[in-house]
Structure 1
Amino acid sequence: MLQSVAVFCGSQNGNNPIYIQHAETLGKLLAENKIDIVYGGGNSGLMGAVANAALENAGKIIGIIPKRLVDRERAHKSLTQIHIVDDMHTRKQMMYSLSEAILILPGGNGTLDEMFETITWNVLSIHDKKVILLNSAGFYNALVQHIENMFNEGFLYSENKIEICSTPEEVLQLLTKD
């Protein structure tokens, strides 16, 4: 059984209320299923929504946040553990090392950076983690189409192994199936 996941997502709420709703539902479902959450350590946006929902349901949540983002992303004060690290590279490396799978929720440049680095590391056999994209309200439709185009045009060595879900419940099914 899977015991931990890294969750990459926005430090802002986004414009569609379903983003927050999905983040909260996912945090709750992971906590109820005793799957530890490793995430960016913030208390704002989707990051805060995932963390707060997990904590409200007795979940274990580990935050990893760079010193320079402690104020900007408002470091969460109530986590099971928080690690304040020197930089983004250390943050990502620690998140990867503490998790067995990667969940991508809506977010901005940082979320995309984390997603593509994870996929690249899978392709290069640095690790082999399941990557699940929560495509809330079609948020990532254009990106998924572009990734398919990169493959079809011969710019990817192999198809990216991204599993795409539309709901938090589908994410949980993928995480808990044998």
Structure 2
Amino acid sequence: MGAVGLFASANDSLPQRLLEAAEATGAGLARLGHTLVYGGSSRGLMGAAARGAVAAGGRVIGVMPRHLVGRERMASDIAELHLVETLAER
């Protein structure tokens, strides 16, 4: 199948229902055979979607600017993580 790009909030203080919806989205993409390409964060909606995809056996690729590694807590349980120099390169 193809790949789906998702770039969303990396804020952990969002309502639980939104985090659950993001996790379900990631899981649904994985079940459909799509690769999730996202911002590489373990936080917020991006992290929830990635966790959902990984839990459903999906492939997840993160793309994160180096200057965000500490602030967004880079994901460690994904298939690939590409560090880039700028948001524009992302």
TM-score, scaled to structure 1: 0.49
| Seq. identity, % | 33
Question: Is 1:20 matched with 2:52?
Answer: no
- 2:31 is aligned to 32
How far apart, CA to CA, are the structure 1 residues paired with 2:17 and 2:57? 23
- 1:8 is aligned to 7
Residue 70 of structure 1: SS of its match in structure 2? Answer: helix
How far apart, CA to CA, are the structure 2 residues paired with 1:53 and 1:66? 23
List gaps (5 residues or longer) in structure 2. none
How far apart, CA to CA, are the structure 1 residues paired with 2:54 and 2:33? 12
Give the C-alpha shift of residue 57 in structure 1: 0.8
Give the C-alpha shift of residue 16 in structure 1: 2.3
Give the C-alpha shift of residue 13 in structure 1: 3.4
1:43-62 correspondence runs (5 A) = 43-62=42-61
Give the number of the structure whose alpha-carbon radius of gyration is greater. Answer: 1
1:1-178 correspondence runs (5 A) = 3-91=2-90
Count of aligned pairs between the two proteins: 90
Higher relative contact order (CA 8 A, sep 6+): 2
How far apart, CA to CA, are the structure 1 residues paired with 2:14 and 2:70? 23
How far apart, CA to CA, are the structure 2 residues paired with 1:22 and 1:84? 27
The two structures, once aligned, show a CA RMSD in angstroms of 1.1
How far apart, CA to CA, are the structure 1 residues paired with 2:32 and 2:71? 31
Residue 72 of structure 2: SS of its match in structure 1? Answer: coil
TM-score, scaled to structure 2: 0.94
How far apart, CA to CA, are the structure 2 residues paired with 1:70 and 1:15? 20
The answer (yes or no) to whether the contact 1:13–1:19 under 8 Å persists in 2 is: no
How far apart, CA to CA, are the structure 2 residues paired with 1:8 and 1:36? 14
The answer (yes or no) to whether the contact 1:3–1:35 under 8 Å persists in 2 is: yes
Whichever residue aligns with residue 11 of structure 1, its letter is A
Whichever residue aligns with residue 69 of structure 2, its letter is V
How far apart, CA to CA, are the structure 1 residues paired with 2:47 and 2:62? 10
